[in-house]
Structure 1
Amino acid sequence: MSAFARLTRRTLLQLGLAGTLALSVALPVAAEADPLPSWNDGAAKTAIVDFVTRTTTPGPDFVAVGDRIATFDNDGTLWSEKPFYFQGVFVMDRIKAMAKDHPEWKDTQPFKGVLENDMKAVVASGHKGLGELLAASSSGMSVEDFSAQVVEWTKTAREPRFNKPYTDLVFQPMLELLAYLRANDYQTFIVSGGGVEFMRPWTEGVYGIPPQQVVGSSGKTEFKLDGDKVSIQKLPAIEFVDDGPGKPVGINRFIGKRPVFAAGNSDGDLEMLQWTTLNPGPRFGMIVHHTDAKREWAYDRDSDVGKLDKALDEAPKRGWTVVSMKDDWKVIYPFEK
């Protein structure tokens, strides 16, 4: 007899309604729907469900609702990041659109590399060059104007391999995981090396994560009053880099509580996973391992984008769950369903 049937029997007896007992026990009891239908049955799925069950059921591992904090990297964890970070594609598209007003760019790196689609030259420019591209493509405008540009790009730009909007290349199994956690009173946060102003315009519609629960790298801004018009203006300088050791700092600064669940996919997430799991009490660390070259991309230790090396070695020592895209996911993207 199921738990539901036992509860029904006890309630009816207590109410003196034994005459209807046979009917109540005979009623079909609906099986609980699988919260992660795009996940194959296996160790990874079992570990997730077990952790959520333990932390939301009264017992030694119970976590109070206010402490159920889950943090997720974005690039490579919630959506694809190959062959180049999607925000990087947005920046390069902006540089190309602006190039007619900047003839000097055709002879100046890293702008020259962007205009010639020379990714090696762009990557070779390092953080300094990428900072110059970011500053040129987004500073000198209000946050609202920048958000409008991002939203327009998500509607019109197409990822060349799949010929889909970039926001279609989110991972269906991770969408289910986010929903499963929220159904169990977890707050889900993005903690990404990507730009916070780039992510906030679309994360709620795509992931169900509102702007105030997005932590990311940020440029300097300033308040501006022009008559009765107020705005926040973007400046050509970096304020905070939310990557590597910056992630625990960002979590502490903007969330104010240590997560009990953290998911990433690269060495840039190592410190976030350490900060989450090296603490008493129930903790869950998860790494999305890109192992499916046919349906997505396969890469780890030698990749220029999303390199996974140190964190992969540390995972078994720390008890982190490594999720194989090829083995653990029935589908990668929502459009495959």
Structure 2
Amino acid sequence: MLKKDGVTIYHIAKEAKVSPATVSRVLTGSANVREPAKSRVLALINKYNFKPNVMAQSLYLKQSKMLGIILPDIDHPFYSMIVKQLESQALERGYTCLLCNSMQNFSIEQAYLDNLISRQVDGIVFLGGRINQTHPTEELLTGMNDSLRHVPIVFVNGKMDGVNAHTIRTDEASGVRRLLDMLIHHGHKTIGLIGGVVGVSSTDEKISVFRETLKEKRLMVKEEWIHSSGYSIEGGEQDAMHLLHLDERPTAVMCINDFVAIGAIKMFRKFGLKVPGDVSVTGFDDTYLSEHFPPGITSVNHNYQKLAKKTIETLIGLISHEEQEKETIIPTYVTIRNSCEEWKQP
């Protein structure tokens, strides 16, 4: 009988009558190992309390078992929530993650891309930054294309025309339409949209869908009710102040994210308006803040677990040189809370 100390993949493989590669696939949770070989390997792993040498396994498989995650702002709850799910999904499949916060700086973003490639990560998940620019510069496009020649990269909720990357995105357009349907069902006929940055694809898409949907519903689209001061609480306060200074204000306000919704609610209350009594407010992203900020913000959820799972599955598939769908769209849903109510004409 083998001693527990000194047991290697090769010992396990010999006793289980399989190849060392099969043992490695069992250890990484691959679905390609069939019964009864898988059960024999697992039984021996448990019998010897086997812990593989990660470095040796990496050399054998020619994989580091590490993934890089690049994002623009870890402080933003949308990114922290998706990263938490990405790490969980990666760990279940035997991968560890290197988290890179670019701090919304394209130069830092590129430095992280180069650094992750030099560290020989097996793949990269890319969120925000350049993949959300409606018109990225040639330099940003070239940097991404150069990186893709070295390592598989999956974009989350973004794209770059001229870059042949795989994309996993949530159906944000459907989320906007569902919010509008709900507000219209509550009797709101005058609706505004605030927050975001024009030139960023997620903002541009939401504004475009907002305008199109209102026109389809034969409702008024007033340009002064569409105002973009960024993604922060302070930006929401500025946008709400803009609406407060108008002679005619909307009875409902859609916000580009939950931060903006919080800022808007704070400013409306400061000037004596009740939310939702005098004005209904919706958010987007359904972060933990939307649940706990009074009165509770109705918001669109990105289906975070499903989004992360599909992202990691796609990336690992690419690492294994398996064919993957070029674009996958994850459905969103609306979480109803207390920031909206039926509009009663004064």
What range is the shorter-chain TM-score in? 0.3 to 0.5
TM-score, with length taken from structure 2? 0.32
